Amino acid sequence: MEAQAILEDIFFVILYGGVIMLNLVAAVYLLLRRGNAIAPEVTSPVRLRRWAGAFLMACALSHVFWLIYAHHPSQTAYVLVCCLDMLMLIPTIAGILLSMLQDRRRPVWPVLVALIPAVVLSVLSIIRGDDALFVPLSIYVYVLYALFLLYIFFAVRRYGSWLRDNYADLEHKEIWQSFLILAVFLLFFVMYSSTSEGSRVLVYLLQIDCIIITVLLLWRVETLQQLSEGTSSESEPEEEEQKTSSQPAIPVNIGPLLKKHCEDGQLYLQHDLTLVQLAQAIGTNRYYLSQHFAQQGLTYNAYINGLRIRHFIRLYQQALADQRIFTAQQLAFESGFHSYSTFSAAFKQNMGMTVTAWTRGTAK
C-alpha cells in the first residue's frame, strides 16, 4: 500500500490526527503537571514521569514525520524517518522500562551507545542513496531491541524479589504492570516493523496500539509509588563492611529484637512498614536484617504478612467469641493490611485456602 493512498482514507486521517493530539496532550500533562489526577494519594517517580512524557512527545513527532513522508515519499526520506524514529523511540522506551525499576538507578546511556552502529549504517545508506544497508540495519535494531527486552524481563523478575525483601505492602508497587507494558511495547515494535509490508490493517492496528500505550502509560505513571530507598546509592558503613566480608557475621540478637519490638510491640500493624524502618526500630541495619530473614528462608514481605495474618485470626476469633458484628475487610485493615486484595492474597499464601473458605470452616 502506497503511503499517499492511506491519506485518502478519511477514517484513518481522523484516527491518525487523534493519536497525534492524544500523544501531545498526554506528554504535556506528564511533563508539566506535578500531582496525579488518576491516583492523587500516590507520589509517582519523577524520572518515570519525564521519560514517559518524552516518549509520548516522540510518538507525536514520529507521526508528523511520517505524515511529511507520505506527501513526499522517497527512499532517502524513508531511511531518514526510520533513523529519527530509532533515535527518539528506542531510548525513551528504554528510559520508561528502566525507570519503573526502583531498586537502583539504571542509566540509559548504554542504549544510546549501542545505537551508534545503527546511526552509522543509516547515514551511509542515505549518502549512498540505496537501501543495500537497510537489511543489516534492520537486523541490528531487531537484535538490539530483543536483547534489551530480554534484559528487562529478567530485571523485572529480580525487582519483584527485591520488593518482597524490602516491603511488607506491595500496593502501588506491583510488577505485573511492568510485564504488561513490556508486552505492549513489544507489540508496538512488531507492528511498527511490519507496516512497511503495506497492510492497511496493520497501519490501523498500529494507531490503536499507540492509543493503548498512551492510556497504559498514564495509568502506570500515576499509580506507581516512588520508592526513596531504591534510588539511594549510599550505604551504611557497617553494611558495606559486611558486604565485602567473605563470611558476614549476623548479630545473634536480631531474633530476640524482632520478638520484642516487632512481634510483641506489634510494629507489623504499621501500614507501609519497610525493611529499613523495621531495622531502625530494632537498632540494627538493613543488611543484617535482610540476611537474618534469608537465613530463616523468609522474605521480609512473608514475615510481616505472616504476623498480620495471625493477628487477623486472633481478632476474628475474639469477635466471634464476643458475638460482635464485623467484616473481614475491617479486621484486615486493623491487622495492618493496606487493602483487602493484598490481605486476601497473603491469606491464601499463608493458610493454603481463601478467606471465605477459612471462615466457613471456622464457623462449623
Q: How far is CA 172 from the centre of its chain?
A: 10
Cα 154 versus chain centre, distance:
13
How many angstroms separate the CA atoms of 77 and 81, rounded? 6
Report the pLDDT value the prediction gives residue 258, as an integer from 0 to 100.
93
CA distances from 176 to 94, 154, 224, 234, 264 (A): 18, 13, 12, 28, 34
Q: How confident is the model at residue 54 (pLDDT cuts 50, 70, 90)?
A: very high
How far is Cα 55 from Cα 93, in angstroms, rounded to an integer? 7
- d(C-alpha 332, C-alpha 313), whole Å: 9
Looking from the CA of 270 toward its CB, the CA atoms found within 13 Å total 14
Instruction: Copy the grid coordinates of residue 151.
Output: 534484559
Which of 171, 175, 168, 172 is CA-nearest to residue 274?
Answer: 168
This prediction's pTM: 0.84
Backbone angles phi, psi at 353, to 5 degrees: -155, 165
Per-residue model confidence (pLDDT) at position 72:
83
pLDDT tens per residue, range 112-138: 999 999 999 888 888 887 777 878 888
How many angstroms from the chain centroid is the CA of residue 24? 22
- d(CA 124, CA 46) in angstroms, rounded, equals 38
pLDDT in tens, 249-306: 666 689 999 999 999 999 999 988 899 999 999 988 888 999 999 998 999 999 999 9
Domain map of the chain by residue range? Answer: 3-231, 237-363
Residue 274: strand pairing partners: 167
For residue range 337-355, list pLDDT tens digits in order: 988 888 998 999 888 899 9
The CATH fold assigned to 3-231 is Rhopdopsin 7-helix transmembrane proteins (1.20.1070)
The CATH classification number of 237-363 equals 1.10.10.60
Tens digit of pLDDT for each residue in 170-229?
888 877 777 788 788 877 877 777 665 557 788 888 889 899 999 989 999 999 989 865
